[in-house]
């Protein structure tokens, strides 16, 4: 009798698990394809005499209006939204993002970070350091 009870319990549990997945309470059906960033200029860990301009590439799935770049060097902090950046799209679909700070930074470390999303809730941040001699 206990064997029949166990088999019945196992069958009921496996059926209820399949029903839960059918209504989306199991694995998520939406996929997050985050944007990617590359071709940073100046290059990461580069030694420079001064720093004033930067550029990078963002993948084709990036929402251009969502791009924000932060440049910081000690107490100096800049934030550039998509409206303040030069963003152009290549034939491949990738975006070239360029920016220029008001005054050159002459010494220390500069951190450049970029944040963007490809669709709401699918965001990525990346960044790097350059050294000013």
Whole-number pLDDT of residue 133: 86
Whole-number pLDDT of residue 4: 60
CA neighbor of 41 nearest in space, from 132, 131, 130, 104: 130
**Domain count within the chain:** 1
Residue numbers of the domain that contains 110: 37-132
Distance in angstroms (rounded) separating the CA atoms of residues 36 and 34: 7
**Pairing state of beta strands 108-119 and 122-132?**
antiparallel
Q: 73: part of which helix (H) or strand (E)?
A: strand 68-73
Give the domain CATH number at 101: 2.60.40.1220
Question: Sign of dihedral through CA atoms 57, 66, 80, 90?
Answer: positive
Q: Would residue 79 count as lying in a domain?
A: yes
Q: Would residue 3 count as lying in a domain?
A: no
pLDDT in tens, the chain (133 residues): 565 655 555 555 555 544 444 444 444 446 899 999 999 999 988 899 999 999 999 999 999 999 999 999 999 999 999 999 999 999 999 999 999 999 999 999 999 999 999 988 899 999 999 999 8
pTM: 0.75
Whole-number pLDDT of residue 60: 96
Length of the chain: 133
CA neighbor of 42 nearest in space, from 111, 108, 125, 123: 111
Q: Would residue 66 count as lying in a domain?
A: yes
Q: Rounded to the nearest 5°, which phi and psi values hold at 55?
A: -155, 160
Q: 7: part of which helix (H) or strand (E)?
A: helix 2-22
Burial of 95 (0-12, 13-18, 19+ CB in 10 A): buried
């Amino acid at each position: 009798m206990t064997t029949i009870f166990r088999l019945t319990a196992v069958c009921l549990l496996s059926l209820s698990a399949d029903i839960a997945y059918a209504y989306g309470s199991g694995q998520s059906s939406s996929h997050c394809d985050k944007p990617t960033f590359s071709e940073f200029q100046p290059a990461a860990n580069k030694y420079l005499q001064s720093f004033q301009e930067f550029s990078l590439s963002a993948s084709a799935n990036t929402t251009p209006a969502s791009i924000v770049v932060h440049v910081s060097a000690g107490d100096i902090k800049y934030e550039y939204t998509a409206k303040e950046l030069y963003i152009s799209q290549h034939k491949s679909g990738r975006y070239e993002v360029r920016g220029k700070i008001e005054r050159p930074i002459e010494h220390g470390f500069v951190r450049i970070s970029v944040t963007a999303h490809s669709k709401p809730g699918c965001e990525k941040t990346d960044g790097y350091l350059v050294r000013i001699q």
